[in-house]
């Protein structure tokens, strides 16, 4: 595929994602598979699409002086400008004149000479005069929001919760590539065996400090490797691997995974239990529950049974105190996964956080009675908002005197995390800039016996 066609494809994806709300990671994977793109072309397409989405607001601000007076710019023309300016400002491999030439050619093909002339004029102004500076923006929150292309309401919220330094680090990390990490299926091969085989095949890998099953892939296309295709590896962020690691699992346990799709954590639980015991998994959507069963089959795990259900109604399916362990990986705003899904930050509204919190509270309320006395429940989210994390846990504990944060939770964390700045009395908050992971929260609660006290 020529670079011209790659850029046409990038424009098609960006326009669809930006205007119709498609999920960037899903559409990008579909396009790469559809065209069976080479590593080089797939990498360029991914870089342009993700990079443009990550930097959209900064680019829009940068070109404002050069598009002033234009009454209406067609969406595809605006996205063509965005992706072209992104390449000019952030990619060093392609010279400006080649970027401008291809943008003009696409304009002629999709539009007419007038559009081509406009695109050419804007891009040449950016080339000659440089982008509009943010230096004169006096409000530090507004300036950070524009410089890192995050909604101003979100930056303000994070500054209020964590301070300017953490917020800046978090926003900047969200605009950089998230390393691929995978989990070894330990019932089929060891981590050392996986490392040896991958390195023999030219991969560069590192051991994850957060899970003894985790590997970080720094070089190589793991999705095309036989170890992945044959179900000996599964893609999972390092932060997500912490969940099963911290559930204090044993063989033969009866475990509930209340919100299980797409199945990464569910299958990890089965692996930690050596596939001995019973894992009952649910998801609100039948199609997603089937994905969990498919993932289990791929990894040759037989202890998982996934089906569709609203976990707020599980008291209709299970008796109280049925499960030894419960995982409540709750639906959340997803504000911790912006590195891999940058379009989320443009679609979310502040009120979404409060609506989701209501669901989180309901789930807590409904699944807690299903845990045995002495049992343990892990609560986790892929967000970095205190309202969905520490405050949700605090609210639950205030209304359930028979639960407490497990006092052994902190001491059982991986050594690398024991002095984490994200630790509070209610759990652990991982920030995306700390360990090159998604933003993630988890805690472990213990259900007390009748005569125990908090």
Could you read off the pLDDT tens digit of each residue along the chain, which spans 454 residues? Answer: 566 688 899 999 999 988 887 777 777 878 777 777 777 888 888 899 999 999 999 999 999 999 987 778 999 999 999 999 999 999 988 899 999 999 999 999 999 999 999 999 999 999 999 999 999 999 999 999 999 999 999 999 999 999 999 999 999 999 998 889 999 999 999 999 999 999 999 999 999 999 999 999 998 889 889 999 999 999 999 999 999 999 999 999 999 999 999 999 999 999 999 999 999 999 999 999 999 999 999 999 999 999 999 999 999 999 999 999 999 999 999 999 999 899 999 989 999 999 999 999 999 999 999 999 999 999 999 999 999 999 999 999 999 999 999 999 999 999 989 878 789 999 999 999 998 999 999 999 999 987 676 6
Which residues neighbour 226 within 8 Å (Cβ) at sequence distance 6 or greater?
none
Q: Which domain holds residue 196?
A: 180-235
Shared-domain flag, residues 250 and 120 = no
Is residue 382 within 8 A of residue 375, CB to CB? The reply is no
CATH label of the domain that carries residue 100: 1.10.940.10
Residue 209, domain member (yes or no): yes
Residue 190, domain member (yes or no): yes
CB atoms within 10 A of CB 372: 16
Residue 293, domain member (yes or no): yes
Of 198, 219, 235, which closes a domain?
Answer: 235
How far apart (Å, rounded) are the C-alpha atoms in residues 404 and 426? 9
Residue 454, domain member (yes or no): no
Alpha helices in 149-203 (DSSP H): 152-162, 164-173, 191-200
Residue 383, domain member (yes or no): yes
User: What tokens were used for 284?
Assistant: 């609100």
- Total domains in the chain come to 4
How far apart (Å, rounded) are the C-alpha atoms in residues 452 and 454? 7
Residue 37, domain member (yes or no): yes
Shared-domain flag, residues 436 and 305 = yes
In whole angstroms, what separates CA 252 from the centre of its chain? 31
User: What tokens were used for 135?
Assistant: 């230096």
How far apart (Å, rounded) are the C-alpha atoms in residues 16 and 21? 7
How far apart (Å, rounded) are the C-alpha atoms in residues 275 and 301? 6
Could you list the active site residues?
Answer: 382
Of 192, 209, 235, which closes a domain?
Answer: 235
45 DSSP assignment: H
pLDDT tens for 183-210 read: 999 999 999 999 999 999 999 999 999 9
Strand partners, 326: 256, 377
Residue 453, domain member (yes or no): no
Of 217, 235, 253, which closes a domain?
Answer: 235
pLDDT at 2: 63
Question: What does pTM read for this prediction?
Answer: 0.93
């Amino acid at each position: 595929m020529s670079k011209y066609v790659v850029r046409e494809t990038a424009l098609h994806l960006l326009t669809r994602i930006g205007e119709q709300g498609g999920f960037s990671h899903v559409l990008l994977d579909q396009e790469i598979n559809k065209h069976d793109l080479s590593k080089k072309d797939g990498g360029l397409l991914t870089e342009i699409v993700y990079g443009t989405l990550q930097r959209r607001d900064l680019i829009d601000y940068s070109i404002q002086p050069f598009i002033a007076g234009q009454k209406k710019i067609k969406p595809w023309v605006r996205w063509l400008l965005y992706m072209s300016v992104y390449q000019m400002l952030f990619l060093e491999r392609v010279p400006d004149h080649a970027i401008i030439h291809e943008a003009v050619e696409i304009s002629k093909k999709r539009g007419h000479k007038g559009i081509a002339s406009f695109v050419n004029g804007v891009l040449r102004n950016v080339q000659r005069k440089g982008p509009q500076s943010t230096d004169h923006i006096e409000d530090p929150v507004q300036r950070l929001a524009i410089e890192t292309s995050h909604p101003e309401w979100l930056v303000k919220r994070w500054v209020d919760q964590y301070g300017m330094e953490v917020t800046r680090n978090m926003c900047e990390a969200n605009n950089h590539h998230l390393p691929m990490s995978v989990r070894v299926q330990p019932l089929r091969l060891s981590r050392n065996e996986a490392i040896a085989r991958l390195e023999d095949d030219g991969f560069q890998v590192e051991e994850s400090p957060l899970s003894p099953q985790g590997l970080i892939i720094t070089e190589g296309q793991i999705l095309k490797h036989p170890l992945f295709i044959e179900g000996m590896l599964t893609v999972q962020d390092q932060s997500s691997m912490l969940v099963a690691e911290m559930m204090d699992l044993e063989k033969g346990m009866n475990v509930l995974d209340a919100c299980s799709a797409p199945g990464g954590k569910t299958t990890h639980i089965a692996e930690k239990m050596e596939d001995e015991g019973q894992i009952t998994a649910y998801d609100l959507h039948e199609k997603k529950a089937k994905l969990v069963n498919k993932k289990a089959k791929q990894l040759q795990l037989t202890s998982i049974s996934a089906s569709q259900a609203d976990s707020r109604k599980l008291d209709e399916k299970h008796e109280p105190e049925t499960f030894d362990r419960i995982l409540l990986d709750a639906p959340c705003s997803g504000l911790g996964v912006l590195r891999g899904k940058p379009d989320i930050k443009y679609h979310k509204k502040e009120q979404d956080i409060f609506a989701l919190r209501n669901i989180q509270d309901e789930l807590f309320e409904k699944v807690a009675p299903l845990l045995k006395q002495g049992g343990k429940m892990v609560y986790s989210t892929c967000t970095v908002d205190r309202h969905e994390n520490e405050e949700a846990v605090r609210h639950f504990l205030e209304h359930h005197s028979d639960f407490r944060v497990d006092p052994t939770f902190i001491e059982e964390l991986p050594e690398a995390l024991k002095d984490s700045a994200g630790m509070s009395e209610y759990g652990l908050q991982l920030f995306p800039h700390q360990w090159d992971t998604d933003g993630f929260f988890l805690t472990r609660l213990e259900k007390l016996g009748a005569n125990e006290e908090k």
